[in-house]
């Protein structure tokens, strides 16, 4: 099966979900934030309702409202990917149906978490979701959160499905990822900002980022430099962004992204419990990390 080598472009951001001061969904703010991420941070696509978007604490109705607002705001010039992954295959299929109806361009589906299915169950989950809609799927492999890694053989088997086209790779195992990129045509996107350049070296195509709420232009330039063969320039840009590529994860990324956005006067609002808003000390550290990357927060 031959797919588009970059089905969602080179740079995607897992967008946070803006909330109003009372904790309700800020639909107008979501549209404004999406516009900023596409027009100023140079994203080719956005992931809506991923974990960074606080999907565990938003309702299905909120997810659909958010998705429609972002598609209306930027869907004419960027791809909008809906996070629909849960640890319940039937619920994931329901969310996939709703996302397709809302106009999503693709789906992000995480490995079922907590219940730790065997590899046969993992494969069945992804195939079932792939059969449920006509949308292309990004498989999200993040074992340190999901509790289960997608084995190389499993990844190669599910890659045979025509709608499973890409991977958000947060496994932290470049050898395993290298085997998959050598045996399939899955488009590998880094799910760890700082691992993007190493992943490009083994066949990766881009990044689904968190720090890219702020580092988007640097990350995009880095990927493009590597693609045109200017490895030295790509390495320089990697090293420039590294303090924020990594610093955004000193606390859960959602907390620090929202703190940084609030500092910039952009829509963010509070986080929902069980997360807590970043404090002054965390914001000051984030500003230091950003300054080292040449970014003012």
Q: Among candidates 206, 212, 154, 155, which has minimal Cα distance to 33?
A: 212
| Residue 63 appears among annotated catalytic residues | no
| Residue 168 appears among annotated catalytic residues | yes
Bond into 251 cis (ω within 30):
no
Angle 212-227/27-39 helices, nearest 10 degrees? 30
Choosing from 63, 168, 171, 258, the catalytic residue is 168
User: Which residues, listed in sequence order, are joined to residue 206 by a DSSP beta bridge?
Assistant: 189
Rounded to whole angstroms, the Cα distance separating 172 from 199 reads 10
Indicate the SS3 state at residue 67. helix
Q: Among candidates 286, 205, 184, which has minimal Cα distance to 243?
A: 286
* φ, ψ (nearest 5 deg) of residue 142: -140, 75
Choosing from 36, 63, 113, 140, the catalytic residue is 140
Which of the residues are catalytic? 140, 168
């Amino acid at each position: 099966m031959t797919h588009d080598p970059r089905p969602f472009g080179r740079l995607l951001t897992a967008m946070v979900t803006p909330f109003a001061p009372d904790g309700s969904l800020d639909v107008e703010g979501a549209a404004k934030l999406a516009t900023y991420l596409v027009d100023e941070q140079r994203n080719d696509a956005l992931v809506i309702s991923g974990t960074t978007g606080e999907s565990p604490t938003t309702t299905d109705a909120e997810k659909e409202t958010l998705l429609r607002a972002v598609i209306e705001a930027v869907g004419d010039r960027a791809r909008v990917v809906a996070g629909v992954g849960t640890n319940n295959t039937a619920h994931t299929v329901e969310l996939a149906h709703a996302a397709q109806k809302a106009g999503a361009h693709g789906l992000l589906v995480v490995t079922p978490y907590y219940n730790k299915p065997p590899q046969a169950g993992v494969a069945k989950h992804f195939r079932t979701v792939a059969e449920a809609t006509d949308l292309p799927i990004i498989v999200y492999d993040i074992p340190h959160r999901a509790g289960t890694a997608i084995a190389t053989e499993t990844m190669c088997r599910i890659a045979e499905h025509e709608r499973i086209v890409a991977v958000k790779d947060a496994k932290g195992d470049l050898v395993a990822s290298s085997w998959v990129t050598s045996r399939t045509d899955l488009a590998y996107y880094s799910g760890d900002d700082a691992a993007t350049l190493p992943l490009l070296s083994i066949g990766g195509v881009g990044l689904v980022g968190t720090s890219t709420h702020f580092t988007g232009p640097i990350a995009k330039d880095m990927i493009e430099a590597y693609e045109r063969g200017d490895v030295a320039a790509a390495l320089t840009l990697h090293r420039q962004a590294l303090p924020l590529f990594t610093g955004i994860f000193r606390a859960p990324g959602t907390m620090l992204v929202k703190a940084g956005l609030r500092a910039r006067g952009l829509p963010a609002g509070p986080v929902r419990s069980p997360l807590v808003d970043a404090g002054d000390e965390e914001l000051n550290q984030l500003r230091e990390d950003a300054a080292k990357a040449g970014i003012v927060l």
